[in-house]
Structure 1
């Protein structure tokens, strides 16, 4: 089975190395030299060169000259793991097996954009990694492999990203021989059971201390590294917040946003239902006690 591989993020790199390690026949790789929006961008050219795999930097995977290049390599399947633009019909149906995509949720639930971030923002305790056969809709094709995993209160974007990678690599090792042998199965998604997550914007990353402490905690851990960070607006400037801790606060007649304490550069702020301690942040000048954020 000849595989064409498309990817440009950290997970793409791990998946490509895994597939190489499994001695699969990879006939080509499409990747990106840089990304203006993927904080976890990875350039796959060095891995490709080291393993003597033909590769190209690709801006538009659906461009006619790229389509012709892929067609000339005569792949039996295309693996697309970590690509931020849509794949159109000509490429989707080019090969006899199809395009295998990846989505880190329990499809058909939570299809769509920014799945890891929304998972943590919403405080979900369970998710899954899913490989599926891509169609023209959003993450709605038949499922090839799905493996659940748990999310703890202590998890953040970095640790969940690691769990996703570890889960997915186990799945690749299990389903690749089945694809090669032609004895794999497909499970149709019941889209009436699922939902579609929207694209997030800059406002979705702003901390409002009228939120509950838990909501703020979830927002910060969802956007911490490798992502762009949650933020507050302070005197017209954006201040990134990377780590917080929920604190109990008994006085219920204090307004949200009031700075309650400054201790060793940690800033304790009143929230709707308690307080939140800003433990890792990018304040140049610390706010003052009794100031409002």
Structure 2
């Protein structure tokens, strides 16, 4: 029997654990943070109830690279270990601890979009699709061999909030898709084609500033790309900072608040003025 472990501390990871069981899989081990860690982290969850109901041994540790975690992976003789929704970088010792390796997910269609800020960049780049990739972790950044992918179509109205939800749904769908092959020890991995790889850098809140000398189309795309749950696009007008959460391109200025560009008017549908 293939023995699988899971590392997470957020709702997305728990949803993937639930999907694994719904698809007929089972876990031999789970690891999460200590109860007093990351209490304000977005989506923070506790695995105690889920694991108790399914008789899954649950290890709590302050870091995934701690020796107690590595020892537990060996003790439970894990073949595969999932790490999903986890901010700590796994060491090579952890990556080599399970017999077959460690699996993770990345919210792009690798090798496109290695790196950071996958949701904003997919919108900013005007892609017609993105997705989620399940792959085997190695010591590189999103460079390991691919297990499978789920595509997510994008439109000119897709914003970050919509895509965030779609990415979560794709994680669950991908988990259900691969569980039968995983449990049957029939996973087929394919190497990424490095010459096709692109790398997306991290983004900061100040990257959300709208270029008032640029195009209205770029500004509208930026608003969609960094709206909630991200910090939002903003413009400095008459000494005030306007954060624009939703906007649309209009041919005319109808008197409502918006931004005038050389190629059009950006009408703010939802915005706030911050100090």
Q: TM-score, normalised by structure 1?
A: 0.82
Within 5 A, what are the aligned runs for 1:51-130? 51=53, 52-55=55-58, 58-130=61-133
Deviation at 1:262, TM superposition (A): 4.3
Q: Is the 8 A contact 1:31 1:55 kept in 2?
A: no
The gaps in structure 1 that reach 5 residues or longer are 250-259, 286-293
Higher RCO (CA-CA < 8 Å; seq separation 6+)? 2
Q: Equivalent residue for 2:45?
A: 43
Partner-residue secondary structure (3-state), 2:81: strand
CA deviations over 1:115-154 (Å, ceiling 9, x no partner)? 1111112221111221001100011111100122210111
Partner-residue secondary structure (3-state), 2:12: helix
- The separation in 2 between residues aligned to 1:55 and 1:234, in whole angstroms, is 53
How has the CA–CA distance of structure 1 residues 175 and 231 changed in structure 2, closer, same or farther, with 3 Å as cutoff? same
CA deviations over 1:32-55 (Å, ceiling 9, x no partner)? 75377x6x4332435535535444
Deviation at 1:164, TM superposition (A): 2.1
Deviation at 1:66, TM superposition (A): 3.3
The answer on 1:183 being equivalent to 2:191 is no
- The separation in 1 between residues aligned to 2:138 and 2:192, in whole angstroms, is 12
Deviation at 1:197, TM superposition (A): 0.9
Q: Is the 8 A contact 1:261 1:268 kept in 2?
A: no
Q: Equivalent residue for 1:282?
A: 272
Q: Equivalent residue for 1:11?
A: 12
Deviation at 1:14, TM superposition (A): 1.9
Deviation at 1:65, TM superposition (A): 3.3
Q: Is the 8 A contact 1:31 1:45 kept in 2?
A: no
Q: Is the 8 A contact 1:31 1:43 kept in 2?
A: no
The gaps in structure 2 that reach 5 residues or longer are none
- The separation in 1 between residues aligned to 2:76 and 2:217, in whole angstroms, is 51
CA deviations over 1:235-279 (Å, ceiling 9, x no partner)? 766543211111225xxxxxxxxxx6643xxx1210242111111
CA deviations over 1:16-37 (Å, ceiling 9, x no partner)? 221233343321132575377x
Q: Equivalent residue for 1:147?
A: 150
Q: Equivalent residue for 2:22?
A: 21
How has the CA–CA distance of structure 1 residues 85 and 245 changed in structure 2, closer, same or farther, with 3 Å as cutoff? same
Q: Is the 8 A contact 2:77 2:99 kept in 1?
A: no
Superposition CA RMSD, Å? 2.6
- The separation in 2 between residues aligned to 1:155 and 1:6, in whole angstroms, is 31
The answer on 1:205 being equivalent to 2:245 is no
Q: Is the 8 A contact 1:78 1:98 kept in 2?
A: yes
Q: Is the 8 A contact 1:35 1:41 kept in 2?
A: no
Deviation at 1:194, TM superposition (A): 0.9
- The separation in 2 between residues aligned to 1:238 and 1:49, in whole angstroms, is 47
Partner-residue secondary structure (3-state), 1:188: coil
- The separation in 1 between residues aligned to 2:214 and 2:10, in whole angstroms, is 32
